[in-house]
Amino acid sequence: MRSFASKFAARWVVCSLGLWIAAAILGASRLSVDGRWGAYIAAGFFLALVNMALKPILIFLSFPAIIISLGLFMLVVNGFMVLLASWIYNPLYVKNLGVAIVAGIIIGLVNYLITRVLEET
């Protein structure tokens, strides 16, 4: 069984990589991090921290909306986590909730692809 530290480190790396890819796809006018690798790593840290600490609570509180929307409300929850990370870490700029939702989708896809690749090896 993996330790908490190794799970957090893996989530941190995936969040940093996902933010980098999302920023490249969405463009600097919608989503940007200071442009340095250190800023992406720090933004990934705060996103991983928010995801591990607050996301389970938010999912529990929004469970009726998730059920009614057949899970689509999870896109809003993921977007809100990205937006919350940008409020905590100022060098991470997210234009609005819509951009945050798209960034959350991209980060989720990166997470899925990395998980699939690591499971096959």
DSSP string, 58-113: HHHHTHHHHHHTTTTHHHHHHHHHHHHHHHHSTTSEE--HHHHHHHHHHHHHHHHH
pLDDT in the model for residue 117: 86
pLDDT digits (tens), the chain, 121 positions = 578 888 899 899 999 999 999 999 998 889 888 868 889 999 999 999 999 999 999 999 999 999 999 999 999 999 999 999 999 999 999 999 999 999 999 999 999 998 888 777 6
Contact 77, 55 (CB under 8 A): yes
pLDDT of residue 2: 75
Region label for 70, one of left (φ > 0), alpha (ψ between -120 and 50) or beta (otherwise): left
pLDDT at 1: 56
Write down the pLDDT at residue 17.
Answer: 93
